[in-house]
Amino acid sequence: MATFSFNSQAFGLDISDFSLKIAMLEKDKNDLKLASFGRANIVSGIIEKGEIKNEERLSEIIKNTLGQIKGKKIRIKYVIASLPEEKSFLDRVRLPLMGQKEIKTAIRFEIENYIPFPLEKVYFDFDKIQQNYENYQEVLIAAIPKDISESYLRVLKKAGLQPLALEPECLSISRALIKKNEIISPVLIIDLGKTRTTFIFFSENNIKFTSTIPFSSGQLTSAISEKIKVSLEEAEKIKCEEGIIGKKEISEILIPLLNNFAKKTQGLLEYYNFHQNKNSHSTMSLEKILLCGRGANLKGLEDFLSVFFKTKVILGNPWINILKTPLKQTPEISFKESLGYASALGLALRGIDKN
């Protein structure tokens, strides 16, 4: 598993339980532009909580989606694909100052303290965090169970693709939403998806901590469906139209669920702050919260969370490292739609940036 390095251009493929998204970038002189993109739904039962249950069906969906891609036809076979966040493990390891070869040996002895699997049952990779400490260094490690990784690799190969790298979604999302080469104050990224929510704490120039909870935009849709006795399709439409600032009947359904979500998020923030104060020289407070994922488009969500956390909450910009500022969308994909493409665009950025 080449989690951190590769040598050829590739397109990005983001796979989740109920959808897949494809994005490919190309260079236009000194700029980047979206060359190809597409998405497809995945029916229930093909992937469950990140675990592929039907490899043949999934490979067919990938092939069909590539055949119906928007923009330029994708002729290359090289792909950078996502790994399910709930099956991945990402953490920082503090090591004495040493060279790259020594780091790999040291990590083999340390990694089992950070992952809930025996070393022989996982693939792992690492990347040195570029910070200057006097007596130690930090290394970012990523690990995935071999059976999960190999299942995704088989699917990609059955689809006629050549995977160059697999990486946890938190890496691709951060690459899409955080301005490249900038040293930033602590930021919390919240990826609100259809089946789960992922939290990514990012500070200075790297990920500090990640977590995933089962709260999802799909639960909000289900709650509306159950309460007012409409189909899930109609409930989704109502949710998008009303949000928490529309009809009182709908806001009264959604706000209690969002309050519980905010309280769980607050617990993670408290854990993160304690962890940072204990293990880091930095005591900077959270600067802002960035929202992404299709669930981030819920009307009123930014203001609701801003009031709850007393912190700036805004929609992330998946184009920040692609389009010239202040552009936030392309003619092909609206800004709202692109929030669901954050991971795919982050993978595509890696696919075109060999450095």
Name which of 97-111, 208-222, 303-317 the model is least confident about: 97-111
- Look at residue 9 and tell me whether its pLDDT is greater than 80: yes
Alpha-carbon torsion, ordered 258, 262, 263, 267, to 10 deg:
150
So what's the pLDDT on residue 108?
81
- Look at residue 324 and tell me whether its pLDDT is greater than 50: yes
- Look at residue 161 and tell me whether its pLDDT is greater than 60: yes
CATH code of the domain made up of 179-319:
3.30.420.40
Mean pLDDT, residues 281-299 taken together: 85
So what's the pLDDT on residue 276?
64
So what's the pLDDT on residue 5?
47
Mean pLDDT, residues 311-317 taken together: 96
What is the rounded CA–CA span in Å between residue 131 and residue 139? 10
**Residue 186: cis peptide before it, omega within 30 degrees of 0:** no
| Angle at CA of residue 24, ends 18 and 28, nearest 5° | 155
Strands 184-192 and 78-83: unpaired
pLDDT in tens, 91-145: 888 888 887 788 888 888 778 777 778 888 989 888 877 665 677 788 888 889 9
Q: Which two tokens stand for residue 300?
A: 């009123």
What is the rounded CA–CA span in Å between residue 204 and residue 8? 28
> Which residues have CB under 8 Å from 62's CB, separation 6+?
13, 20, 155, 156, 159, 161
Mean pLDDT in the chain?
89
So what's the pLDDT on residue 160?
97
What are the helix (H) ranges across the chain? Answer: 55-67, 100-110, 146-158, 169-177, 217-228, 232-242, 248-279, 301-309, 335-338, 342-352
What is the rounded CA–CA span in Å between residue 23 and residue 224? 32
What is the rounded CA–CA span in Å between residue 117 and residue 137? 25
For residues 167 and 174, is the Cβ–Cβ distance under 8 A?
A: no
Q: What ranges do the domains of the chain cover?
A: 179-319
Strands 122-128 and 137-145: antiparallel
Region of 45 (left: φ > 0; alpha: ψ -120 to 50; beta: rest) is: left
The SS3 of residue 313 is: strand
Proportion of the chain in helix, strand, coil states, percent, rounded to 5: 40, 30, 30
So what's the pLDDT on residue 141?
86
So what's the pLDDT on residue 57?
98
- Look at residue 285 and tell me whether its pLDDT is greater than 80: no
Residue type at position 82 = S
Closest CA to 217 of 199, 233, 197, 201: 197
More confident residue, 167 or 96: 167
pLDDT in tens, 236-277: 999 999 999 999 999 999 999 999 999 999 998 888 777 665
For residues 213 and 257, is the Cβ–Cβ distance under 8 A?
A: no
Q: Report the sign of the C-alpha dihedral through residues 117, 119, 123, 128, in that order.
A: positive
| Angle at CA of residue 167, ends 122 and 355, nearest 5° | 125
Strands 11-15 and 206-213: unpaired
The radius of gyration of the chain from alpha carbons, rounded to an integer in Å, stands at 20
For residues 203 and 40, is the Cβ–Cβ distance under 8 A?
A: no
For residues 68 and 38, is the Cβ–Cβ distance under 8 A?
A: yes
Q: Name the band, by pLDDT with cuts 50, 70 and 90, for residue 177.
A: very high
- Look at residue 3 and tell me whether its pLDDT is greater than 60: no
So what's the pLDDT on residue 278?
54
